[in-house]
Amino acid sequence: MRKGTIAGLTAILLLVAATLAVAAGAEEHHVAAGVLFKDFLWRCLNFAVTFGLLAYFVTKPLRNGLAGRREGIAKALAEAEQARTEAEARFAEYDRKLAKAATEVDAIYAEIRHEGELESQKIIANAQEMAEKIKAEAKKSAALEVARARAELQREAAKMAVAIAEDLLQKGFTAQDHDRLVNEYTQKVGELH
């Protein structure tokens, strides 16, 4: 409290105490109506002055206290509004970041899926390439086996021809036999090719 307020309250208390002392010290006796009226007016004046002083000294601190309270409440409301605005701004920022992160996750997921598809295509292409190489090797091996079999058949045919020739020569070889032998030999050699 301020010094002026304390001094005002002290003055009011002294005035009230003085008024009570005067009222208690008066002797009771029958006085004329005019004196009673004066006393009544004096008491009304005392009451009015006391009430006025009380109103003057008490209402000012009350108004100041209420104004300070009003300012404190207004300040608290302003701070709360500012905090709410800041919280909304932070929420909006976090919401934007969350949306951006979701978009980035979707983009990363799409990229991974695309890379997986490319890798799958590479694996399939490599498998097809290896299958073609295996087929080519198989054809080459088959061709070599066929060539080896032909060579073996030719050797066998040659051995058989020699054996037949020896046999015929031993039995007596005539011109007719010679023609027939040549025909058989060319026929067998033609079958080999």
129 is a domain residue: no
**What does pLDDT average to over the chain?**
81
- Where does residue 43 fall: left (phi above 0), alpha (psi -120 to 50 degrees), or beta otherwise? alpha
pLDDT of res. 157: 79
50 is a domain residue: no
Provide mean pLDDT across the span 88-92. 92
166 is a domain residue: yes
Query: Per-residue confidence at 79, pLDDT binned at 50, 70, 90?
Result: very high
How buried is 12 (Cβ within 10 angstroms: 0-12 exposed, 13-18 middle, 19+ buried)?
A: buried
Is it the case that residue 67 has pLDDT exceeding 70?
Answer: yes
pLDDT of res. 21: 59
What total number of domains does the chain contain?
1
Q: Over pLDDT 70: what percentage of the chain?
A: 78
CB 60 within 8 A of CB 12: no
70 is a domain residue: no
43 is a domain residue: no
| Residues spanned by the domain of 184 | 146-192
Task: Give, to the nearest 10 degrees, the angle between helix 33-171 and helix 3-25.
Answer: 150
168 is a domain residue: yes
pLDDT of res. 75: 92
CB 56 within 8 A of CB 11: no
159 is a domain residue: yes
CA angle 95, 97, 98 (to 5 degrees): 65
pLDDT of res. 5: 64
Structure tokens at 153: 């058949």
181 is a domain residue: yes
Provide mean pLDDT across the span 71-82. 91
CB 167 within 8 A of CB 184: no
pLDDT of res. 52: 82
Query: Per-residue confidence at 162, pLDDT binned at 50, 70, 90?
Result: confident
Is it the case that residue 23 has pLDDT exceeding 90?
Answer: no
Q: Phi and psi at residue 30, in whole multiples of 5°?
A: -80, 120
Is it the case that residue 137 has pLDDT exceeding 60?
Answer: yes
How large is the C-alpha radius of gyration of the chain?
A: 67
